[in-house]
Amino acid sequence: MQIVRNSEELARARAELAGKVALVPTMGALHAGHMALVAEASERADHVAASLFVNPAQFGEGEDFSRYPRREDQDIAMLEEAGCELLWAPSVADIYPDGFSTKVSVSGLSERWEGEARPGHFDGVATVVAKLLLAVRPDVALFGEKDFQQLAVIRRMVGDLGIPVEVVGVPTVREPDGLALSSRNAYLSPAERQQAVALPDALKAARNTLQGGTAVATVVRQAKQALVDAGFLKIDYFALVDAATLEPLDEPRGEMRLIAAAVIGSTRLIDNLAV
């Protein structure tokens, strides 16, 4: 696997890749969920590239940028084993050089849920993803469905700006007990890790009761109470939304998602489930 550290090296390396290229953008601290993205990328393209960049622009004040797990050597080994051919690991100065003053903002989709809980987060995501796509020029870019709102924002941005790339969502990879794989799971203490499974359990129970005909308001209230009872300290949101627009639904209709974000200990977890 070729590792490049700046835009000039990237341009040369990218020019050497003939055929269809797939990109897997990451912030490192890789796990089996990322490897599922790489595996899907291998099925869809002749060459797989990945990026490794902990993006400061998507972390808000008081968030975990400084303690976000960084383990580049392990990440490189995992990507090589998975068949990745090119890794772009730029510096902050390369992505945001002196005088950088442009921001990509996706209105509508980005304003509720994560956008409300983490002001400015999706501006940081959209800006860096736009830069990654324009620099690597992949034919396909793959993102996990665990960050479902992020996936929707990126799809809208790519469509609105006419960036010539196919955006593919890959289903969430979970632990055997149902907890969605996340780099932030490393923050959980052993006791918190046991409690954290209440989040996917609440989503599954909510889906089942919705399908049984229970009113949406009742389902949401029961799910939030289950999280509180399990030891979650704060619930940012738990909602049934339209899968395309992310607008909240008072009654089931069409393609839907249950989405949730809650804090246990000092760790904020997000998850979602198709309905």
Task: Give the domain CATH number at 114.
Answer: 3.40.50.620
Q: Mean pLDDT for the chain? A: 96
131/194 same-domain check: no
Q: How many domains does the chain have?
A: 2
137/199 same-domain check: no
pTM for the whole structure = 0.94
Q: Which structural domain, as residue segments, surrounds residue 23?
A: 2-170
Note whether residue 9 is domain-resident: yes
Note whether residue 275 is domain-resident: no
90/153 same-domain check: yes
Cα–Cα dist 272/239, whole Å: 10
Task: Give the whole-number percent of the chain exceeding pLDDT 90.
Answer: 96
198/240 same-domain check: yes
41/159 same-domain check: yes
Q: Which of 145, 170, 195 is the last residue of a domain?
A: 170
pLDDT digits (tens, 9 = 90+) for 89-138: 999 999 999 999 999 999 999 999 999 999 999 999 999 999 999 999 99
153/218 same-domain check: no
Is residue 34 part of the annotated active site? The answer reads yes
Q: What per-residue confidence (pLDDT) applies to 187?
A: 92
Note whether residue 203 is domain-resident: yes
Q: What per-residue confidence (pLDDT) applies to 251?
A: 95
- What integer is the mean pLDDT of 262-267? 96
Q: In the 3-class helix/strand/coil scheme, how is the chain assigned residue by residue?
A: CEEECCHHHHHHHHHCCCCCEEEEEECCCCCHHHHHHHHHHHHHCCEEEEEECCCHHHCCCCCCCCCCCCCHHHHHHHHHHHCCCEEECCCHHHHCCCCCCCCCCCCCCCCCCHHHHCCCHHHHHHHHHHHHHHHHCCCEEEEECCCHHHHHHHHHHHHHHCCCCEEEEECCCECCCCCECCHHHHHCCHHHHHHHCHHHHHHHHHHHHHHCCCCHHHHHHHHHHHHHHHCCCEEEEEEEEECCCCCECCCCCCCEEEEEEEEECCEEEEEEEEC
63/158 same-domain check: yes
- What integer is the mean pLDDT of 68-72? 91
Q: What is the amino acid identity at position 14?
A: R
pLDDT at 61 over 90: no
191/142 same-domain check: no
Note whether residue 177 is domain-resident: no
**How does residue 226 score in pLDDT terms, banded at 50, 70 and 90?**
very high
Cα–Cα dist 65/58, whole Å: 9
**How does residue 215 score in pLDDT terms, banded at 50, 70 and 90?**
very high
Interacting residues of 264 by C-beta distance below 8 A, sequence separation 6+:
188, 192, 195, 196, 230, 231, 232, 233
165/192 same-domain check: no
Q: Which of 170, 193, 221 is the last residue of a domain?
A: 170
197/161 same-domain check: no
pLDDT at 7 over 90: yes
Using CB atoms within 10 Å of the CB of residue 66, give its burial: 0 to 12 exposed, 13 to 18 middle, 19+ buried: exposed
pLDDT at 67 over 90: no
- What integer is the mean pLDDT of 238-248? 97
pLDDT digits (tens, 9 = 90+) for 141-189: 999 999 999 999 999 999 999 999 999 999 999 999 999 999 999 999 9
- Report how far apart, in Å, the C-alpha atoms of 193 and of each of 127, 178, 184, 201, 249 are: 33, 12, 11, 13, 31
233: domain CATH number is 3.30.1300.10
pLDDT at 18 over 90: yes
48/82 same-domain check: yes
Q: Which of 113, 143, 170 is the last residue of a domain?
A: 170
pLDDT at 66 over 90: no
Closest CA to 150 of 45, 275, 58: 58
CA atoms within 13 A on the CB side of 240: 27
Strand partners, 86: 2, 49
**How does residue 199 score in pLDDT terms, banded at 50, 70 and 90?**
very high
- What integer is the mean pLDDT of 26-36? 95
pLDDT at 60 over 90: no
Cα–Cα dist 223/260, whole Å: 10
Closest CA to 55 of 148, 129, 141, 119: 129
